[in-house]
Structure 1
Amino acid sequence: MDQKINRWSVLTASTIILLCTGAVYAFSVFAGPLSASKGWSMATIMLAFTINSAISPIPMILGGYFTDKGWSKWSIAIGGLLFGLGFFLTGLATTPAMLYLTYGLIAGLGQGLAYSGCLSNTIKLFPDKKGLASGIITAGMGGAAIIAAPIGNYLVQSHDVLYAFRVLGIAYMLVVLVASFFIREAPANYQPAGWTPTATKNGGTPVNKNWASMLRSPYFYLIFLMLFTGAFSGLMIAANASVIGQQMFKLTAATAAFYVSLYSLCNCAGRVVWGVVSDRFGRNNTLYIILGVIMLAFFILVSLHSQASFAIGIVILGLCFGGVMGVFPPLVMENFGPINQGTNYGIVFVGYSAAAFFAPKVAANMAAANSGDFTKAFYVAIVVALVGLMTNFVYMQLKKHADKKANTSHLAA
């Protein structure tokens, strides 16, 4: 077993690549100018974001399969280049159908391949720090808009929105090409120097389930639903932050772009912070806090109508969305094992994609029906988070019952 691999350089390169593919979270900066430039409705344009996010199960599962077979370097490189190409071609779009093909399909497939390869490969290199590694690697996705939003807004203002897509697409392809040279495959059963695995409960052997066994587990369906409920609010805000700021809180386009970057910064920080917290206090205890705080943030947004309340909501929801995305990869690994993590997490990630399909669309449609007011959409997000809290409770009760039963059987033996 090769223990000499520099896992930190792999983590760094993977994070840099996801700083490119995570530019999807800055879409609200481009949506308004694209609507004004082409005369397409916001609902028409938002469908491109929905397609981009909703197709992710296909490349996520495929990329996970490649990673589990030791081909993550190819998955990451091809995915990153496809994403950049999709961004570039979006700058040539002349019809909504072409927008859906370039930004929705091509960029979406590329993003999923790169994300799955980067995440699943890297987390296998950090069995001792799963939450931290997951937090940092997913922070690349969450933090991308910190860079993309202001640069994109500048390019839109100085030239036009299609020019911005073309320039960013070329830049992303160049960055991916360079960073891919530093990606290394995680060796099977990798153990960092000086670390030994913690004994499993009751002296059992570590669990490694393939996708078929995972689908027979009740925990899969609970984790799936929790991911959906946790990601719902974050995706609602990510797709509409700039529009919400301008329509509900009367911000200028430049100020709204700043808040998109702030949301992304908090999203980025939340993945690391909550990942570390979950390493110490447990994934599900952390989810209790995250989902409860999400509800509080939306109550603030519907109760107060000032720039300050918008800022508070953006900060809280960004941190919590980041926490959701940082907590679930290690939660899946702890339930179903590291060997098939790539494929398994790709399947679980369908929960995220389902949220990506519904959340932006629900928000945009409700706002359109209420003169740009997102209040009713915020109430929907509160209810969804409450469902997540209840699902988390059921999951923990089942775990406690299973642990008690296993402990009784162990003592009897």
Structure 2
Amino acid sequence: MPSLQAEFGWSRATVTIPFTVAGLVFAFGMAPAGRIQDLKGPRPLVIASAVLSIVGYGLSAMAQNLPWLVISYGIIMGAAMATGYSAAVAGGLKWFPDMKGSATGILVGGFGAAAAVFGPIAHFAVAEFGWRNAFLILGVVFSSIIGLCSFILVNPPQGWRPAGWDPAKAQGIRKHSPEYTGYEFPFKTMLQTRQFWLMWTQYILILCGGFSIIVHLRPLALDLGFSAAAATGLVAIISLSNLGGRFVLSPLSDVIGRLKSFTIVGSLMTTATVAASIASIYGIPNLLYFSAIVGGTAFGGYLALSPAFTADMWGMKSVGANYGAMFTGWGLASFIGPFLAGLMYDAAASYNYVFFVFAALCVPAVLIALLFVKAAHLKARAMELGLDKCEA
């Protein structure tokens, strides 16, 4: 934030520290938050998110130094995001066992849409009232909205099914995906399956490419002669494509299956990162628009696919904690991708071959989905362990 740089004299790298910490706390807080969701339902988490939001923004508005902001925004607001996100995503999945992909596409799409809606509002508030007052305003608004949601969000009754839905007879998008095992894997048991670690690795590999595009495509655009306004417009294209990918690719997985959809996403990310390197090597600035659209779509699609896939493979009963464990891949990728791209750029003083590295990382990620993750193997393991069958 330029306002923080201006007031405290911090470098751009220093300003990003609280936001980086918030992302890591968000990612690694998802599993414990999800466990609470599985046991107690979403309401305690939503209330906690509302309280943490007003406290985090309020303390951030009074920040006098970097450690203060790391605690108030990085840790407290990161926890607010983890509790709120887990309550919504895991709770939504449990209400829509017949259309998991469509449900998570809308839910995760809403999370992405919030940035598009409230981003301009936040910028306006900072410009008109200063960043401290803007934090206070946002804290009151967000905590009020989240608090109201605590009266609405509940888990469905045990064994609940949508009216008229019989999974044995369902057709089209309402039938279970090919990845549905039909068994409930507790959190610790899921961590003992190789399928989890393969998909967790895929999560990191693909999203490293996505984060490299999100963070470094704008600097590359400036290097290729974009104006500051045009480069910022490129970021907006990534954001809109990210949102579109969530709404399109996740519902598509209800039709063609999750693993085929992951293959599409990995192929799209490979294409986007290759295009970015070609644009840099041959000086083709307009190719960056293609990279922004395709990379943003793949990034958003992957985030929306993952919760539904987790529920299909390891069951609905512990989906909050199980998806939370999977989501730690997002946190690691958010750090590794931009940092690795920055290191390679600093070493070569060029983006020419930076994105080729991320394209190469996407290749094994695609192969994981194509060749190595099989629902039948996981189902056989569940039968060996005598795990409970899913109720829906």
**Identity over aligned residues, as a percent?**
26
Q: Which amino acid aligns with 1:112?
A: A
**Cα gap change, 1:168/1:225 in structure 2, threshold over 3 Å: closer, same or farther?**
same
Asked if 1:65 corresponds to 2:35, the answer is yes
* 1:265 counterpart residue number: 240
Contact 1:235 1:355 in 2 (8 A): yes
Asked if 1:215 corresponds to 2:185, the answer is no
1:185 aligns to what SS in structure 2? Answer: coil
* 1:75 counterpart residue number: 45
CA distance in 2: counterparts of 1:201 and 1:136, whole angstroms: 18
Q: Which amino acid aligns with 2:259?
A: N
Residue among 242, 253, 259 paired with 1:284? 259
Q: How many Å apart are 1:248 and its aligned residue?
A: 5.5
Q: How many Å apart are 1:57 and its aligned residue?
A: 4.5
1:94 aligns to what SS in structure 2? Answer: coil
**Cα gap change, 1:79/1:134 in structure 2, threshold over 3 Å: closer, same or farther?**
same
User: TM-score, normalized by length of structure 2?
Assistant: 0.83
**Cα gap change, 1:126/1:387 in structure 2, threshold over 3 Å: closer, same or farther?**
same
CA distance in 2: counterparts of 1:37 and 1:303, whole angstroms: 40
**Cα gap change, 1:187/1:370 in structure 2, threshold over 3 Å: closer, same or farther?**
farther
Q: How many Å apart are 1:211 and its aligned residue?
A: 1.1
Q: How many Å apart are 1:399 and its aligned residue?
A: 4.5
Q: Which amino acid aligns with 1:381?
A: F
**Structural mapping, 1:3-152, within 5 Å:** 30=1, 32=2, 34-152=4-122
Contact 1:145 1:261 in 2 (8 A): no
2:286 aligns to what SS in structure 1? Answer: helix
Q: How many Å apart are 1:73 and its aligned residue?
A: 1.4
* 2:368 counterpart residue number: 391
Q: How many Å apart are 1:123 and its aligned residue?
A: 0.6
**Cα gap change, 1:405/1:120 in structure 2, threshold over 3 Å: closer, same or farther?**
closer
Asked if 1:230 corresponds to 2:206, the answer is yes
Q: How many Å apart are 1:62 and its aligned residue?
A: 2.0
Contact 2:24 2:331 in 1 (8 A): yes
Higher alpha-carbon deviation: 304-313 or 101-110: 304-313
Higher alpha-carbon deviation: 327-336 or 346-355: 346-355
Contact 1:230 1:388 in 2 (8 A): yes
Q: Which amino acid aligns with 1:268?
A: L
**Cα gap change, 1:206/1:284 in structure 2, threshold over 3 Å: closer, same or farther?**
closer
**Cα gap change, 1:360/1:39 in structure 2, threshold over 3 Å: closer, same or farther?**
farther
**Structural mapping, 1:256-405, within 5 Å:** 256-304=231-279, 305=283, 308-367=286-345, 374-396=351-373, 398-399=374-375
Q: How many Å apart are 1:190 and its aligned residue?
A: 1.9
CA distance in 2: counterparts of 1:100 and 1:63, whole angstroms: 21
Contact 1:84 1:107 in 2 (8 A): no
Residue among 244, 251, 264 paired with 2:227? 251
**Cα gap change, 1:195/1:296 in structure 2, threshold over 3 Å: closer, same or farther?**
same
CA distance in 2: counterparts of 1:357 and 1:336, whole angstroms: 27
CA distance in 2: counterparts of 1:88 and 1:384, whole angstroms: 41
Q: How many Å apart are 1:247 and its aligned residue?
A: 5.7
CA distance in 1: counterparts of 2:132 and 2:345, whole angstroms: 26
**Cα gap change, 1:210/1:287 in structure 2, threshold over 3 Å: closer, same or farther?**
same
What stretches of structure 2 of length at least 5 have no aligned partner? 170-175, 383-392
* 1:3 counterpart residue number: none
CA distance in 1: counterparts of 2:177 and 2:256, whole angstroms: 17
CA distance in 1: counterparts of 2:217 and 2:139, whole angstroms: 22
Asked if 1:191 corresponds to 2:140, the answer is no
CA distance in 1: counterparts of 2:223 and 2:123, whole angstroms: 18
Q: How many Å apart are 1:66 and its aligned residue?
A: 1.6
**Cα gap change, 1:188/1:248 in structure 2, threshold over 3 Å: closer, same or farther?**
farther
Q: How many Å apart are 1:194 and its aligned residue?
A: 0.5
* 2:389 counterpart residue number: none
**Structural mapping, 1:158-177, within 5 Å:** 158=128, 160-177=130-147
Q: How many Å apart are 1:362 and its aligned residue?
A: 2.6
Contact 1:150 1:258 in 2 (8 A): no
Contact 2:126 2:133 in 1 (8 A): yes
Number of residue equivalences: 372
CA distance in 2: counterparts of 1:107 and 1:239, whole angstroms: 21
**Cα gap change, 1:390/1:148 in structure 2, threshold over 3 Å: closer, same or farther?**
same
Deviations 1:331-375 (CA, angstroms, capped at 9, x unpaired)? 11111111111111111212222212312333344455666x555
CA distance in 2: counterparts of 1:201 and 1:122, whole angstroms: 17
2:96 aligns to what SS in structure 1? Answer: coil
CA distance in 1: counterparts of 2:334 and 2:290, whole angstroms: 23
Q: Which amino acid aligns with 2:290?
A: I
User: TM-score, normalized by length of structure 1?
Assistant: 0.79
Q: Which amino acid aligns with 2:368?
A: T
CA distance in 2: counterparts of 1:368 and 1:41, whole angstroms: 17
2:260 aligns to what SS in structure 1? Answer: helix
Deviations 1:282-339 (CA, angstroms, capped at 9, x unpaired)? 1111111111111211222222256633332222221111110111111111111111
Q: How many Å apart are 1:178 and its aligned residue?
A: 2.8
Q: How many Å apart are 1:240 and its aligned residue?
A: 5.3
CA distance in 2: counterparts of 1:401 and 1:210, whole angstroms: 17
Contact 1:274 1:327 in 2 (8 A): yes
CA distance in 2: counterparts of 1:163 and 1:307, whole angstroms: 39
Contact 1:70 1:186 in 2 (8 A): no
Q: How many Å apart are 1:219 and its aligned residue?
A: 0.7
Contact 2:209 2:337 in 1 (8 A): yes
* 2:385 counterpart residue number: none
Contact 1:149 1:261 in 2 (8 A): no
Q: How many Å apart are 1:228 and its aligned residue?
A: 1.4
* 1:13 counterpart residue number: none
